[in-house]
Structure 1
């Protein structure tokens, strides 16, 4: 099978590419990335592999998407502009990348006869729905431009399946973390920022009182879900969306305490106001993914934090990059 990974130089994408290279059923892993938030450094161990082909290009360019889809059997569409705060600051670019870019990928896949698209959806789609744990068929109103874009991706996937017979699987990620997640910039994820602060013996900043909770999910679990979705022969699993998480609820303070323990420090974080567009609590029901995809998260939050802290500590140059 020849597989295209959009955003393959990014955090989740690069981890997925490395796993696909090792998969015996995969003949080619083509990467499409504009390197705006990703980096070839994330692919250093596989970029010269005989299975790997890299295209530097933007999903906002339809012709580039067409070229990337040549002779491809399945796509893992990871390219996106993440971050709720970034989408609030710049909704136009978030929309252009996450909606227009995704529509380009879907349309190019249709035109080139790609057999399946697995795409990165988001737990932000649940919006203001109060129910916990989150189940796939019960969503609320989106709370940010980013959440709108990720829900529109699901709507387009549904339409392209019914109108154009393009099978797809959406993976609603719940706060993925792990090696190669970027700690730099104003929209960096919370875990690498915490680790960076602790390794520098500084107090990190927490938005709100720290009681916000998430279903933090180690990246290996997301990679597993992608590979299962790309390769499943269960036709009932197609044209569905799935929660990809661990089914564990962890507050930001609990998360920080765990990292404090790994660092063997007793640093106290600082606090500020709540962040606009943030959901207060999030927890996933993962029964659907278990049943239809055979998904079984193997790395717990605690184990993931240990692995992540160890990786950053062993790769200090990653924390010091511009």
Structure 2
């Protein structure tokens, strides 16, 4: 039985992970640390009555807060981060403070409290300008945004802490995770909830660029499964590694829109805006390493994930604002 800390647990991926961990018989308690800057308590409302759920409101940029959150914990899933490439371009200082200093605080607090297993959210942005597809973990290029720099530095620190302090880090390079609870509000909202919100309001969504940008879109249940596999793996070869967490399929923004359009049953066509600064043109993951060492399998396809996501937003229209 394990007590697990989830940083950023009030956010999109974190809250989905908390829900799964509370259903796992190997988990004794789930503690969440979040400052609610991008997450919300609404994402956790169902869990507060559960005696196995623990809530800590605080910021990973404060080391003492991280230290308190790590007390009595066996493993950490570090999901707290300030996401979004455009946000990092607009405000690199805050992105650096949260994603690098905050992560270093979490790693150090884990070390000081005797925690070994540290699963952390890495990012496909680390591949930068490396042109070859599909992306393999060992082949990365130059970062194209401050956000990408911060996520790569996380990986470097993880390796150093494994070597010097015996931490057991496992990095999960997420590829465009989507699903229920993903925030559609604000200037840095992800593309899928923005598309869904527009379609449910019978409005034409905006596609940045010509719509040919492609991504390895990955339903959140797949990311959650990867986290749980990483938290509990006893395969020594799986530790101190980074893994692509994706579906291993490529979908353009136009194809994505058309799949959601079919779910909405509408004839709307998108508007096209300027491409975003710092975005890579195409992304596709090789997931063979995660399959081999973690036993990872993307159980939900892009099409099925989009159907579930659209249905969830349609049933939770208040979430869209």
Shift of 1:218: 0.1
Shift of 1:46: 1.2
Counterpart position of 1:37: 38
Counterpart position of 2:129: 128
Counterpart position of 2:172: 171
Q: SS of the residue aligned with 1:27? A: strand
Counterpart position of 1:302: 303
Deviations 1:140-166 (A, max 9, x none): 000000000000000000000001111
Deviations 1:3-37 (A, max 9, x none): 00000000000000000000000001000000010
Partner Cα separation in structure 2 for residue 75 and residue 313 of structure 1: 33
Counterpart position of 1:91: 92
Matched, 1:232 2:230: no
Write out the 4+ residue segments of structure 1 that deviate beyond 4 Å after TM superposition: none
Superposed CA RMSD:
0.4
TM-score computed with the length of structure 1 as normaliser = 0.99
Partner Cα separation in structure 1 for residue 78 and residue 203 of structure 2: 36
Partner Cα separation in structure 1 for residue 268 and residue 50 of structure 2: 43
Size of the aligned set, in residue pairs, is 320
Partner Cα separation in structure 2 for residue 12 and residue 114 of structure 1: 22
Shift of 1:266: 1.1
Partner Cα separation in structure 2 for residue 200 and residue 273 of structure 1: 23
Shift of 1:215: 0.1
Shift of 1:255: 0.1
Counterpart position of 2:67: 66
Shift of 1:272: 1.3
Partner Cα separation in structure 2 for residue 206 and residue 37 of structure 1: 23
> 5+ residue gaps in structure 1?
none
Q: SS of the residue aligned with 2:27? A: coil
> 5+ residue gaps in structure 2?
none
Deviations 1:34-55 (A, max 9, x none): 0010001001111221110000
Partner Cα separation in structure 2 for residue 49 and residue 21 of structure 1: 9
How does 1:18-167 map onto structure 2 within 5 Å?
18-167=19-168
Partner Cα separation in structure 2 for residue 178 and residue 189 of structure 1: 11
